[in-house]
């Protein structure tokens, strides 16, 4: 319900925004069109007035030079068209050119040198001072090169338009309004479709995130829709998969640690209870057994700490150059342990290698873990070989044994923590299953690669490489 409301709310917001933007755009465009149209009509009227002034000015100037202002009012009313009075009246003082007259709504006003109105085609301002701020186009009338009067033409835009022109403006306004309504309806339809198109994948993502937050780590999104939503869905699925893997690893690690701790703790508890009851003698041998288990637990804790650093990529490295011979000296205890077990140990070295560039302690730990692993899987009379070779800009290390080998189905898991090929093997002999996982982490921390090659009955070879400056 919550997600449905969220989806609906988002769709409504998108639709409303789309409609508002569309309508505002239409209104703005319409207003601009109307203003431009009226501006063009205004310019047209002004130009027409100038033409009228050009026609009437010489006529009235001629009249003024002959008669002054006497009879000018009657003359204008008798010789203008459309004033409601002049049609059919006798023309005074000569005839007017064909086509002369004024448009409907236009008005001619003549003022004398004292700004008094002496003629008005509407007869409203006779004898009154002219209000120049309300008058439009004007032309000075000169007689004998002296200013005698002024001719004004008043053409209000609304009333100065012809009936056809007024109809055009009205139709333009109506059509603009209809266009705004049509576009509003189209915007509503498109907004609804667009809102659904955008809100649906977002609502699905929101629902998936909610499920993920509630612990449903197997939640995944279907990759469909636009490219951006597909990329978003792919990133979400990748994140969910990593969270799922982390959670599975956490649970497995918890179970593995609990399993590894249970055996030594059970042994210690049994030994101590036996000593308390007197069934186990409190002697040096019994105490030595307890000490061995404590040491083993301490070693486990140390290994877990190293594994934690590796998996959290928090391994601190100290790169340096050191002699190869120094590294081999630290491997002598392993050689002695193999001799005690009856295992043959050999080293195959590239004679050109004198120095190694790496983290000395981490490299030593890698080799000790691999050699210890090989020793654990080789019986008496077996053979283990350490090889170090140079290949271009890196060194390749190899630890090979002629043990029983690793079944193909086990190879992908050998570097997993707590993994043992033979889980029935004695833990004291077989280790805790952390050495190879730690070795891989140390190799990768130094920008190297590690892998294994093996087959049943043919032995096993662990390879790893380290880049050299």
Q: What pTM value is reported for the model? A: 0.49
- Select 2-160's CATH number: 3.40.1000, 1.10.8, 3.30.450, 3.40.50: 3.30.450
Domain ranges of the chain: 2-160, 243-308, 315-467
Q: Which fold has domain 315-467?
A: Heat Shock Protein 90 (3.30.565)
pLDDT for 1: 46
Structure tokens at 333: 């205890």
Structure tokens at 80: 């203008």
pLDDT for 93: 46
| Cα(341)–Cα(383) distance, integer angstroms | 11
CB atoms near residue 180 (< 10 Å):
17
| Cα(453)–Cα(465) distance, integer angstroms | 14
pLDDT for 85: 42
pLDDT for 11: 58
Query: CATH classification of 243-308 is 1.10.287.130, yes or no?
Result: yes
How many angstroms separate the Cα of 395 from the Cα of each of 5, 50, 120, 459, 465?
62, 98, 112, 23, 5
For tokens 């057994």, the residue is 289
Which stretches of 5-114 are assigned E, i.e. beta strand?
Answer: 107-112
pLDDT for 234: 80
Say if residues 148 and 113 touch (Cβ distance below 8 Å): yes
Say if residues 368 and 331 touch (Cβ distance below 8 Å): yes
Say if residues 405 and 458 touch (Cβ distance below 8 Å): yes
Q: At what angle do helices 284-311 and 227-277 cross, to 10 degrees?
A: 170
* H helix or E strand, kind and range, residue 286: helix 284-311
Q: Name residues of the chain where pLDDT drops below 50.
A: 1, 3-7, 82-99, 157-160, 424-430
pLDDT for 323: 95
CB atoms near residue 306 (< 10 Å):
19
Give the pairing type, strands 319-323 and 146-154: unpaired
For tokens 């649970």, the residue is 251
pLDDT for 91: 41
Give the pairing type, strands 137-143 and 319-323: unpaired
CA atoms within 13 A on the CB side of 378: 29
| Cα(371)–Cα(328) distance, integer angstroms | 12
Structure tokens at 364: 């030593």
Say if residues 331 and 371 touch (Cβ distance below 8 Å): yes
């Amino acid at each position: 319900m919550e997600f449905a409301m969220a989806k609906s709310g988002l769709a409504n917001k998108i639709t409303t925004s789309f409609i508002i933007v569309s309508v505002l755009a239409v209104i703005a465009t319409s207003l601009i069109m109307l203003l431009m149209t009226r501006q063009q009509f205004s310019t047209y009227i002004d130009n027409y007035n100038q033409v009228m002034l050009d026609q009437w000015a010489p006529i009235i100037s001629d009249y003024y030079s002959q008669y002054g202002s006497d009879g000018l009012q009657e003359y204008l009313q008798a010789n203008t068209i459309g004033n409601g009075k002049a049609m059919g009246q006798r023309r005074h003082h000569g005839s007017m050119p064909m086509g002369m007259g004024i448009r409907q709504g236009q008005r001619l006003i003549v003022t004398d040198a004292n700004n008094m109105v002496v003629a008005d085609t509407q007869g409203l301002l006779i004898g009154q001072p002219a209000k120049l701020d309300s008058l439009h186009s004007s032309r000075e009338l000169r007689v004998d090169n002296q200013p005698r009067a002024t001719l004004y033409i008043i053409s209000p835009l609304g009333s100065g338009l012809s009936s056809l022109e007024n109809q055009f403006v009205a139709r333009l306004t109506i059509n603009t309004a209809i266009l705004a309504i049509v576009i509003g309806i189209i915007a509503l339809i498109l907004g609804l479709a667009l809102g659904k198109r955008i809100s649906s994948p977002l609502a699905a993502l929101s629902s998936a995130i909610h499920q993920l937050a509630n612990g449903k780590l197997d939640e995944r999104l279907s990759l469909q829709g636009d490219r951006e939503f597909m990329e978003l869905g792919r990133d979400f699925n990748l994140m969910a998969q990593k969270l799922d893997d982390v959670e599975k690893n956490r649970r497995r690690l918890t179970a593995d640690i609990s399993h590894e701790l249970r055996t030594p703790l059970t042994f210690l508890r049994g030994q101590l209870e036996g000593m308390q009851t007197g069934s186990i003698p409190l002697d040096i041998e019994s105490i030595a057994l307890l000490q061995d288990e404590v040491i083993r637990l301490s070693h486990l804790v140390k290994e877990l700490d190293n594994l934690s650093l590796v998996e959290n990529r928090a391994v601190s490295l100290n790169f340096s150059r050191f002699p190869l011979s120094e590294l081999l000296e630290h491997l002598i205890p392993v050689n002695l342990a193999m001799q005690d077990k009856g295992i043959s140990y050999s080293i195959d070295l590239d004679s050109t290698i004198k120095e190694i560039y790496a983290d000395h302690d981490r490299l030593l730990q890698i080799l000790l873990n691999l050699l210890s692993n090989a020793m654990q899987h080789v019986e008496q009379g077996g053979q283990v070989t350490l090889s170090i070779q140079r290949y271009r800009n890196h060194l390749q290390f190899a630890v090979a044994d002629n043990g029983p080998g690793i079944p193909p189905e086990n190879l992908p898991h050998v570097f997993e923590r707590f993994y043992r090929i033979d889980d029935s093997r004695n833990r004291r002999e077989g280790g805790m299953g952390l050495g190879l996982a730690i070795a891989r982490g140390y190799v990768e921390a130094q920008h190297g690669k590690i892998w294994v090659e093996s087959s049943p009955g043919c032995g096993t070879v662990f390879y790893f490489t380290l880049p050299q400056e």
